[in-house]
Amino acid sequence: MRDIIFEDNLSYPREKEIIKFQGEEPFRLYSQMNKLLKDVLEVMGKDVNEMKLKWDATTPDKSFYVKWSVKRKIDAWTNSFYDVIAQGKQNSQTRKGDIIIAIVPSFRTEIKGGFLQKTFWWIYYFVYYKKKRSRDFYYAKNLANKLKTTIANLYGIKPMESV
């Protein structure tokens, strides 16, 4: 029997949240991102992973690409995931450039087990867990909004919150 999986997009109706910045030191995000993710998403350092860092130093306009991934455990079955992708360029002499930051948050519940365990889980789901999952979903969505606002404040811009 297959696993039971619920997956929701925390930035619905959009696929991801976007922050665009053009100005002084767009790469400043890199040095502060690990601490920012730990503080805003309320996770430990082991939950924050820098998945990829690319840096092109062959021209004065140094382009970069960085991806972080965070897994935040909600309970035994549910996790929220936050992928942050930053891509841009910064001039090495003037320190000016641009950056586009994409935040891709998701919320996933996965149930594994045999037929009997899944049957009892469905009863538990309709009696109690559905309400709890809904509360946890909105909590995780608020964390995604808080992350977007905190990153935008780092650059001195005001983002639009998703509802």
Low-confidence ranges of the chain (pLDDT < 70): 1, 160-163
What pTM value is reported for the model?
0.89
Q: pLDDT tens across 21-49, in order?
A: 888 988 888 888 999 999 999 999 899 99
> What pLDDT is stored for residue 92 in this prediction?
86
Is 127 domain-assigned?
yes
Nearest to 49 by CA among 74, 75, 35, 70: 70
Count the Cβ atoms, other than its own, within 10 Å of residue 45: 10
Quote the pLDDT of residue 163.
43
67 in a structural domain:
yes
Is 162 part of any domain?
A: no
Asked, for residue 58, whether it belongs to a domain, the answer is yes
Domain housing 149: 4-154
- Going by C-alpha positions, the residue among 137, 145, 135, 133 that lies closest to residue 41 is 145
The count of domains in the chain is: 1
Q: What span, in angstroms and rounded, lies between the C-alpha atoms of 149 and 145?
A: 6
CA distances from 145 to 11, 18, 19, 92 (A): 9, 11, 12, 32
